Amino acid sequence: MFKGIKVIKSHGIQYVKNLRTQPVSPLFRGRPVIKSNISRDDIRMVSNLCPSGAIDPESGSIDIGRCVFCRECSFACPEKIVFTDDYRIAANTRNGLIIHPGNEEHLRLNEEIIRTEVRRMFKRSLKLRQVSAGGDNSCEMELNAAGNVNFDMGRYGIEFVASPRHADGIVITGPVSENMAEALQITWDAVPEPKIIILAGTDAISGGMFTDSPAVRRRFIDEHHIDLYVPGNPCHPLTFINGIMDLLGIK
C-alpha cells in the first residue's frame, strides 16, 4: 500500500488544464505561414522539393491536408516559409486546409456548414469508432493519447468505443489500403444515423505519400461527406481534440 501511495505522490497532477492554450514545443510543426512576398523562383524551388506535392507551383499555397510537415521547404527558404507552433489546424472543408501566401490568420471551422443535428446530438457525448486503413500506427497512438491521463478528452464526453454500433461516427487513419476498403465500408454501415466522419492525419485526408500507390483505394473518402479534417503527420492529440471541440461548439 505504501508503494502505491509513493507512486501516486510522484505522479502528481498530469492533466492538461486548458486544452485550448496548452503550449507545445516551439519547434512543433503546426500551421505554416508563407510570406506574401515569396518570389516565383522560390515557389518553384520549394514546390519541386516538397516530398508530398503539397505546394502549388503557381500560387505557392500549401495544402496542409497533403503536407507531411517535414519542414524541408522552410529549411530551404527560411525567410519566406515558417511553421508556427499553432496546433489548432483542423478544418471542416477540404479547401479550408489550403493556406495561401500572406495568410497569417488562425484556421477556424466554417460554422455555416456544420449540420445542426451534429451539435444538437453530440455536444455532450460523442462516441467514436476508429478504423485504421493503412495507417502507420503513429496517428493511432496519438488518438489513444487523446484519451489518456494528460489530454483526457473524456472530460467532454468524447471517447472511443469498441463497436461501431455504439458509435456516433468513425475516425479514419491511413490512406485507405485496398485490402481495408471493404472493412471500412462495413464498419461505416454499422454506425447508426446520424453519424459523422473524421479524417485524422495527412494520409487519411489526401493519401499523403501514398496517393499514387496502386495499393490504395480512396473511393470511400471521395464518396462521403467528411465532417472534420485533422491534419498532421501524425495529428497531435491537441489538434484532434480542439478540432472536435470546434465542431461540437464546445467553448
Partner 1 sequence: MNQKYIGIKNCSLPVDIGQIPLLSYEEFSGKVKELLKAEENHCLNYFTIEEAGDRYFYCLIACDSEKNIQVLSHKIRKEKASLVSLTPDCPSLHVFEREIFENTGVEFSGHPWLKPLRYPHDATSKTDMADYPFYSIDSEELHEVGVGPVHAGVIEPGHFRFICNGEKVLHLEIQLGYQHRGIEKLFVEKDSTLRRCILSESIAGDTSVGHALAFTQIIESLTGIQAGESLQIERCIALELERMAVHIGDTAALCGDVAYQLGQVVCEALRTLIINTTQLWCGNRFGKGLIRPGGSNYPMTDNVEDAVLKVLDQTEKRFGEISDLIFSLPSVMARFEDIGHVTEDQARSIGAVGMAARTCGISRDIRSSHPFQYYTKFPVAPVILDSGDVLARAKMRDLEFRESVRIVRDLINIRKKRNKESGKPVYDTVLKPGSLAVALVEGWRGEICHIALTDNKGRIVNYKIKDPSLHNWLALALAVRNQEISDFPVCNKSFNLSYCGNDL
Kindly list the residues in this chain that would bind partner 1 in the complex (CB under 8 A).
3-4, 6-8, 10-11, 14, 24-25, 27-29, 49, 51-52, 68-72, 75, 83, 129-145, 148-150, 160, 162-164, 174-175, 177-180, 182-183, 187, 203, 208-210, 212-216, 233-234, 236
**Residue 139 to residues 3, 184, 188, Cα–Cα distance (Å):** 34, 17, 19
- Closest CB to partner 1 among residues 28, 156: 28
CA–CA dist 243, 90 (Å, integer): 5
**Smallest distance, partner 1 to C-beta of residue 250, A:** 21
Distance, CA of 75 to CA of 3 (rounded, Å): 49
Nearer to partner 1, 58 or 214 (CB): 214
Residue 209 CB, nearest distance to partner 1 (Å)?
Answer: 5
Comparing C-alpha atoms, which of 246, 234, 14 is closest to residue 143?
234
Distance CA 147, CA 155 (A): 9
CB of 120 to partner 1, least distance (A): 27
Selection from 179, 235, 225 nearest residue 203 by Cα: 235
Nearer to partner 1, 109 or 228 (CB): 228
CB closer to partner 1 out of 88 and 109: 88
Tell me the closest approach of the beta carbon of residue 41 to partner 1, in angstroms: 18
Closest distance of CB 54 from partner 1, Å? 11
- Cell numbers at residue 169, please? 461516427
Tell me the CA end-to-end span of the chain in Å, nearest whole number: 40
Tell me which long-range contacts 70-79 makes (C-beta under 8 A, separation of at least 24).
70/233, 71/29, 73/46, 73/49, 74/32, 76/45, 76/46, 76/49, 77/38, 77/42, 77/45, 77/46, 79/35
Residue 81 CB, nearest approach to partner 1 (Å)? 14
Q: Which is nearer to partner 1, 27 or 251 (CB)?
A: 27
> Is residue 46 a contact partner of residue 54, using CB atoms and an 8 Å limit?
no
Q: Which is nearer to partner 1, 30 or 60 (CB)?
A: 30
